Amino acid sequence: MSIIGVGIDVAEIERFAVSLERTPGMAERLFLPSELLLPSGERRGVASLAARFAAKEALAKALGAPGGLRWSDAEVYVEDSGQPRLRVTGTVALRAAELGVSSWHVSLSHDAGVASAVVIAEG
């Protein structure tokens, strides 16, 4: 196995919150329903959404930032253990296959008003 790509991104949480409020439907364009809602059915907090957005940006960077990737073709989810993971389909899966990506590593964080994510594509 070797590292094919690494991506990192940060998102200012308050700025992200303002963008979500100002742009109706933005959250639904960026995230799948499973990313927007907690298992309880409540809407996920803005810091968590900002970290997921940063992960999607970092994922695109790990793939070389090609045009044409769809936000809904990447899902950030958390295993029962608490470990964040990526599930890719469609345009993202196609680009990953072109590069030979066979596994993903993702780390999310949010603190001091900033959400961040690192994505490593391995193949």
pLDDT for position 38: 86
Contact (Cβ atoms closer than 8 angstroms) between residue 24 and residue 77: no
Domain extent for 96: 3-122
Mapped onto helix, strand or coil, the DSSP state of residue 48 is helix
pLDDT for position 41: 87
pLDDT for position 118: 98
The domain that holds 69 is classified in CATH as 3.90.470.20
CA trace torsion 117, 40, 26, 91 (10° rounding): 60
**What does pTM read for this prediction?**
0.93
Q: Taking the chain (123 residues) in consecutive chunks of 10 residues, what is each chunk's mean pLDDT?
A: 95 96 92 91 93 97 89 93 94 95 96 97 96
The count of structural domains within the chain is: 1
